[in-house]
Amino acid sequence: MVHMSRRVTSTRLSDNRELIYFDDPETPSRPPGALVDHRDLPPRGEPGEVRFDALSGEWVAIAAHRQSRTHLPPADQCPICPTTAANPSEIPAPDYDVVVFENRFPSLGPVAGDIPPAPSTGGHGLKGPALGRCEVVAFTPQHTGSFAELGETRARTVIEAWAQRTEALSALPGIKQVFPFENRGADIGVTLHHPHGQIYAYPYVTPRAANLGAVARRYYDDVGAKETLAASLLRAEREDGSRMVLEGKHFSAYVPFAARWPLEVHLVPHRHVADLAGLRGEEKEELAHVYLDLLKRLDALYPTPMPYISAWHQAPLDPVLRPSGQLHLQLTSPRRAADKLKYLAGSEAAMGAFINDTTPEAVADRLRSVAVAPASAKTMEDSPA
Ligand SMILES: [Zn+2]
C-alpha cells in the first residue's frame, strides 16, 4: 500500500505496546537509535471485562483498572510530548510529526479476539474479556494548540494515520467496528491537554452504530442497493441548502435536519465509501482542507475554543451492516451559549430523547457566515502563532 511519500515506522515500547510514527512528506528519516524506549515499564495488565446487559441487549465494558490513569498532568510531565531527559514520555523520540500508540490504560485490550456472541434474548450473566484495542493519536509534538491550528500538511498526515490504522485494526481478530474520535476540551472530560485523539477497535458493534446501521440497511434494501441512506440525505440537504455549511468536490457538511446537539455538523463524502481506509488520495487531500475549515468555524463562534466530540462513523465490519454503511463525521458540541453547556439530563440520559434548544437552520447560518482564516499549507511548527 502506497502512502503518498508519508513514511510509516512501527516500533515497540518497553512493555511491547506498538507505537507507529507517521511522518510528513518533507521530514528527514530518524536514526533507529533515537526511537528506543529506555524506560523499564511493568508488563501490561490483563483485559477488563465486557458484560452483557440483558435488559438492553448491549455490551458494557467494565474497566475499573483505568481509575489510576493519568489525569491532566502538568506540561513538563506530559506523556504525549517528545521524550526529554526530564520527561521520559510515551513517545521515545526527540521529535515527531504524528504518532499512534497503544493506550497504556485501555478500556479494550491489550489483545483482540472474539467475545461470546450476543444472544437474541436473555443472556443475563454473560460476560467475556474486554478484547479489542485502544490507541492514542498524537496530532503534533507541540503541547498546546488544537487540531484546528494544524497546517494542511500535518492534518493530511493525521488522516493518513486514521486510514492506515482503520485498515490495520479492521484486520485484527474479532474486531467489529473501528472508531477514530477526538474529545476536545475539559468540558468533554479530556484528561490530557496535548492535542490528541483516540481510536477504539471494538469486539462488538456499538449500540449507536447498531441502531444507525439497521436503519441504513433497511433504506439500502428498500431502494435496491442503489444508494446509501447517507448519500440520499446528503443529496436532499444539498438541494434544500438551508442547513448546508460547506460544499467541496468530494465532501460536504451540513447541520442535520433533526440535530440532537446545540451544535452538530455532519461531514459526508460524496462517494459511497465504507471507511477512512477506502478514501482515495484526492479525497484525503480535500478532507484535510474541509475538516480544518469546519473546526475553525466552530472555534470562531465564541470568544473561547469550542469543546467538541469529533466522531468518525465507519461502516461496521459486520457483514449485514457493512454494504449499506457509509463513512461520515458527526461533529457535536454541548455548548449552547458562550457560557452555557447542555448537560445530558433526564430526557436525554435516561430516555435517549433529545431536546435541542437551537434550530439547525440558524446554527447552519452562523457556521456559514462566520469569518475563517484559511489554513496554512505549512505545519504548525513552521508557522508559530
Ligand atoms: Zn504534551
- pLDDT tens across 218-276, in order? 999 999 999 999 999 999 999 999 999 999 999 999 999 999 999 999 999 999 999 99
Phi, psi of 241 (to 5 degrees): 85, -25
Q: What's the alpha-carbon Rg for the chain, to the nearest Å?
A: 21
State residue 379's pLDDT score.
Answer: 47
* C-alpha 85 – ligand 1 centre gap (Å): 15
CATH 3.30.428.10 assigned to domain 209-382? The reply is yes
In this prediction, residues 13-33 reach a mean pLDDT of 92
Which of the pair, 2 or 92, is modelled with greater confidence? 92
* pLDDT 10s digits, 125-170: 999 999 999 999 999 999 999 999 999 999 999 999 999 999 999 9
State residue 68's pLDDT score.
Answer: 61
CA dist., res. 89 & res. 81, Å (int): 6
Reading the block at residue 15, the C-alpha cell is 512493555
* C-alpha 277 – ligand 1 centre gap (Å): 28
Q: 209-382: same fold as 8-200? A: yes
State residue 73's pLDDT score.
Answer: 77
- pLDDT at residue 385 tops 90: no
Q: How confident is the model at residue 382 (pLDDT cuts 50, 70, 90)?
A: very low
State residue 196's pLDDT score.
Answer: 97
- pLDDT at residue 179 tops 90: yes
* C-alpha 348 – ligand 1 centre gap (Å): 34
* pLDDT 10s digits, 107-125: 999 999 999 999 999 999 9
Nearest to 269 by CA among 282, 258, 259, 260: 282
Q: Are 251 and 267 in contact (CB under 8 A)?
A: yes
CA dist., res. 311 & res. 266, Å (int): 10
Please check if 328 is assigned to a binding site: no
- pLDDT at residue 371 tops 90: no
Q: How confident is the model at residue 377 (pLDDT cuts 50, 70, 90)?
A: low
Q: Report the C-alpha dihedral over residues 36, 42, 46, 49, rounded to 10 degrees.
A: -90
Percentage with pLDDT > 90 across the chain: 83
Q: How confident is the model at residue 190 (pLDDT cuts 50, 70, 90)?
A: confident
Please check if 270 is assigned to a binding site: no
Paired with 247 in beta bridges are 252
In this prediction, residues 7-15 reach a mean pLDDT of 95
Give the start-to-end residue ranges of the domains of the chain: 8-200, 209-382
* C-alpha 274 – ligand 1 centre gap (Å): 33
State residue 323's pLDDT score.
Answer: 98
Please check if 134 is assigned to a binding site: no
* C-alpha 321 – ligand 1 centre gap (Å): 38
With vertex at residue 307, the alpha carbon angle to CA 330 and CA 97, rounded to the nearest 5 degrees, is: 80
Task: Work out the angle between the directed axes of helices 281-300 and 152-170 (0-180°, nearest 10).
Answer: 120
With vertex at residue 214, the alpha carbon angle to CA 263 and CA 255, rounded to the nearest 5 degrees, is: 20
List the catalytic residues: 196
* C-alpha 104 – ligand 1 centre gap (Å): 16
State residue 317's pLDDT score.
Answer: 98
Nearest to 219 by CA among 321, 312, 353: 321
Mean predicted lDDT score pLDDT of the chain = 92
Which of the pair, 377 or 258, is modelled with greater confidence? 258
Q: How confident is the model at residue 315 (pLDDT cuts 50, 70, 90)?
A: very high
Q: What is the CATH number of domain 8-200?
A: 3.30.428.10
* pLDDT 10s digits, 43-89: 998 999 999 999 999 999 998 876 566 666 787 899 999 999 999 99
Please check if 81 is assigned to a binding site: yes
